[in-house]
A = this chain, B = another copy of it.
Amino acid sequence: PAERGVHEMTLTANFPVPDEAIHRDLVSIVGEGGVSARRLDRLAYARDLWPGSILWMRGGKVPYLPSFIVWPEETEAVSQILTYANAHHLPVVPFGAGSGVCGGTLPLHGGIILDLKRMNRIVAIDRNSMTVTAQCGIMGECFEEDLNVAGFTLGHFPSSIYCSTLGGWLAARSAGQLSTKYGKIEDMVIALEAVLADGTVIETRKTPRSATGPDWKHLLVGSEGTLGVITTATMRLHPLPQARIFQAYRFPDVPTALEAIRATVQYGVLPAVVRLYDEVDTALTMTALGAEDLSGNLLILVFEGGREIVALEHELTARFCAERPCEDLGAGPARHWWEHRYDISYRQSEILSNEGMVLDTIEVATVWSNLVNLYDTVRKALSPIVTTLAHFSHIYPEGASIYFSVIGHAEETTDEAYYRKIWETAMAACLEAGGTISHHHGIGYSKAPWMAQEHGTLMGVYRRVKDALDPNGILNPGKMGL
């Protein structure tokens, strides 16, 4: 097929004319410049980075469109928009920067896209307490750069950092490349401000801890816009690292390497970066990143922080590795990975622009005693239908995540049917092996069908809480298996 332009693609989309009265009302809240009902804007917000929605685009399909995009600049405006939408039963999809890979921002029922990117101010840096309070629409890389200037780091480096926001990280439960040391987004958040479906503004106290009931932050973190709109967050900061040490090893097999990693973290050493690539991922990814040819199972380690601490961490990790068969590759491959650590994610759309190509990532997790089983089970299930590579990149004392990349070409079936088969196979294998179906990409639209199996009776709790906080179901409807 010839190249498709916007015009041709929109032919298959149903563009209902947005209601003029609603448009006027939204303008009265955020002003003319704060609302759009233009076709081009509506089309731009019709998808995120979910490969399934890219396949739709590739096929010229735009199944879901919002009626309005609204850009509030203050919490008060978010509250007014939600109060209004709730009164009129209008769907509202909170939106950060659209880097989600599970269709979490698809406007399945039309309505309003609530784009928070203009809420991008750093409200305060508390140098003494080492915390920062910021509006949630701030873009990741800008946020980190501003913090660096002040002498701090957030320690959160998702590969989406150039196209994701603080609020998106929190709502979609982000985990960064340095999570083993700095923790995941839920470990970093000290306090939240959010707006409920009915416009009520809630705020948790800025305190290191409080024994005054459930920790309500955790109701919103990971809720993917279904329970409230996160507007401001107070996050823990760290001093900029004094020192950084790079180290790589080659292991003969995955289980041996995992044992070295497990021994290290269970001894109490948490390197900033721990990435173990299996043989296929070592060959493909490192080549894609422009490294010299590498074989075997590559372990990349980066230590950062106080000078004496990272020196000891490096020494102890080296000891646990040396107790097992492995080859010391020096700093080179780890340093190379570091320099190219954001490159790979941005290749996805390029590859997916080729007719018939299917590419996705499937990140699951389990405890150590089940990790090799989960790895083997998912790989075995997928290998007959798609090329599967994997790395282990978020490490915990009690387990780890497995990040599968799948890449294939639809041969005897449609792209979408092939794509669906890959996911059905992977999710069934993961659940059978006792893994959780997502470690950090979330659920959104694409994984919603497996939420019942993931959670069992817990889904009843989610539904009851959803009904209690959003009785009209306006917040991100159709997501999360609710």
Instruction: Using CB atoms and an 8 Å cutoff, list the residues of chain A in contact with chain B.
Output: 126, 128-131, 172-173, 175, 184, 186, 190, 196, 200-224, 227, 236, 238-239, 262, 266-269, 305-306, 308-309, 312, 315-316, 365-370, 394, 396-401, 434-443, 447, 451, 454-458, 460-462, 464-465, 467-469, 480
10 contacts between A and B (CB under 8 A): A190-B367, A210-B439, A211-B439, A212-B436, A212-B438, A214-B220, A214-B465, A215-B221, A309-B312, A465-B468
A207–B227 CA distance with the chains assembled, in angstroms: 23
A436–B191 CA distance with the chains assembled, in angstroms: 12
**Which 8 pairs show the lowest CB-CB distances between chains A and B?**
A218-B218, A208-B399, A208-B396, A468-B468, A129-B367, A128-B369, A210-B436, A173-B211
B227 near A440: Cβ-Cβ < 8 Å: no
Contacts A365-B209, A436-B205; is A469 near B458 (CB within 8 Å)? no
Residue on B nearest A305 in the bound complex, by CB = B268
A63–B438 CA distance with the chains assembled, in angstroms: 50
A116–B437 CA distance with the chains assembled, in angstroms: 33
B208 near A365: Cβ-Cβ < 8 Å: yes
A204: B residues at CB distance < 8 A: 458
A447: B residues at CB distance < 8 A: 212
A451: B residues at CB distance < 8 A: 212-213
Contacts A212-B437, A457-B202; is A126 near B367 (CB within 8 Å)? yes
Q: Closest CB-CB distance, A40 to chain B, in whole Å?
A: 32
A370: B residues at CB distance < 8 A: 129
A173: B residues at CB distance < 8 A: 211
Contacts A216-B461, A455-B212; is A435 near B222 (CB within 8 Å)? no
A222 near B214: Cβ-Cβ < 8 Å: yes
Kindly identify which residue among B186, B206, B210, B211 contacts A215, using a CB–CB cutoff of 8 Å.
B186
A481–B315 CA distance with the chains assembled, in angstroms: 52
A215–B368 CA distance with the chains assembled, in angstroms: 20
A308–B365 CA distance with the chains assembled, in angstroms: 31
A312–B268 CA distance with the chains assembled, in angstroms: 13
A224: B residues at CB distance < 8 A: 213
Q: Closest CB-CB distance, A317 to chain B, in whole Å?
A: 12
A202: B residues at CB distance < 8 A: 456-458, 460-461
Contacts A215-B222, A219-B214, A365-B210; is A464 near B469 (CB within 8 Å)? yes
A480: B residues at CB distance < 8 A: 213
A239 near B211: Cβ-Cβ < 8 Å: no
Q: Closest CB-CB distance, A229 to chain B, in whole Å?
A: 14
A373–B224 CA distance with the chains assembled, in angstroms: 37
A207: B residues at CB distance < 8 A: 365-367, 399, 435-436
